Amino acid sequence: MPAAPTASRRQFLALLGISAAAVGCGTATAGGGARRSAGQVTTLKYQGSAGAVTPPELAADLGLLGDLRLEWVGNTISGPQDIQSAATGQTHFGGAFNGAVVKLAASRAPVTAVISYYGVDEHAYSGYYVLEDSPLRTARDLPGRKVGMNTLGAHAQALLDIYLGRNGIPKAEAAKVESLVVPPVSTEQALRQQQIDVGVLGGVLRDKAVAAGGIRPLFSDFDLLGRFSAGTYVMTKRFIGENPDTVRTFATGVAGAIEWSRTTPRDEVVARMTEIVAKRGRNEDASALRYWRSYGVGAAGGRIQEEEFRLWVDWLAERGEVKPGRPAPSDLYTNEFNDLGKG
Residue 34 has pLDDT above 60, yes or no: no
Least confident of 5-9, 74-78, 181-185, 262-266: 5-9
- Mean pLDDT calculated for residue range 197-215: 92
Please give the backbone phi and psi of residue 297, each rounded to the nearest 5 degrees, phi first.
-65, 135
Output the pLDDT for position 16. 54
Q: Which domains does the chain have, with CATH numbers?
A: 9-94+101-119+229-331 (3.40.190.10), 126-225 (3.40.190.10)
Average pLDDT over the chain, rounded to whole?
Answer: 89
Residue 27 has pLDDT above 50, yes or no: no
Output the pLDDT for position 35. 53
pLDDT in tens, 278-301: 999 999 988 888 889 999 999 999
Q: Hey, CA dihedral for 86, 283, 56, 6, is it positive or negative?
A: negative
CA distance 81 to 4: 30
Neighbours of 121 (CB within 10 A): 18
pLDDT category of residue 208 using cuts at 50, 70 and 90: confident
CA distance 143 to 217: 17
- Mean pLDDT calculated for residue range 193-220: 94
Comparing C-alpha atoms, which of 124, 120, 119, 117 is closest to residue 301? 117
Q: What is the pTM of this model?
A: 0.82
pLDDT in tens, 43-58: 999 999 988 999 999 9
For residue 167, give the DSSP letter: T
